Amino acid sequence: MGQKAQIRSDELLRQLEHLRHTAQDPSLLLWLQRELEGYDVNDELPWYRIMECRQRGLFMQHGTAHQHTCQINEKCLCQRDMEQVRFLLVRGPLASYLDCHTSTLERWPDTLLLEYSKHLIPEHVCLYAWKEPIDSVREHLLLGISSLLKQYVPSMHREMENPNRTLRSIQHRHWSV
């Protein structure tokens, strides 16, 4: 995402809240609710809430207490395991990501860390491993939501005439993973 979002997060939240009170389309209302309150574990996520990640870890050298963090080479993981950690699923309420200026990290599952902890870097043990988004979560969400709104909101009054322009069809058209 080379371009920076020129969208103010407070304006976007106000716009979503306003839409939530004025919209009548059930799919739009459900999307607005999920954006403002967060997505459940079983909810399908829009394309902009699935972010590619790099893998990082805290390593300790054998025989010393020397610790350092570094990126984990993805080729060290088998494909089945890589699928568990390749993407960050951004499920929380939108406001929690817009107000936060720190990086959003997610730890690896303990079973995966245990399996790979001694094999990622020779003569080192991985104490912790986590997913780190490549792009800013805040900017990614701002761009994704504003892009969706630019396409969907102008067509709301034509929705009954053109059913192919529903929120679901717009979301799937932009699926990039």
Distance (Å, whole) CA 162 – CA 43: 26
Distance (Å, whole) CA 66 – CA 34: 44
| pLDDT at 177 > cutoff 70 | no
Query: In the chain, pLDDT over 70 holds for what percent of residues?
Result: 80
* Cα–chain center distance at 39: 11
| pLDDT at 21 > cutoff 80 | yes
- The pLDDT of residue 72 is 94
Closest CA to 12 of 135, 142, 156: 142
- The pLDDT of residue 172 is 52
- The pLDDT of residue 168 is 55
Closest CA to 162 of 22, 32, 15, 25: 25
H or E element at residue 53: strand 50-61
- CA distances (Å), 33 to each of 15, 78, 163, in order? 13, 37, 22
> Three-class SS of residue 86?
coil
Q: How do residues 87-117 score in pLDDT, each as one tens digit?
A: 999 999 999 888 766 678 899 999 999 999 9
For the segment 29-55, the average pLDDT, to the nearest whole number, is: 94
Average pLDDT of the residues of the chain: 83
**Domain locations in the chain?**
9-173
Structure-token pair, residue 24: 């009548």
| pLDDT at 80 > cutoff 70 | yes
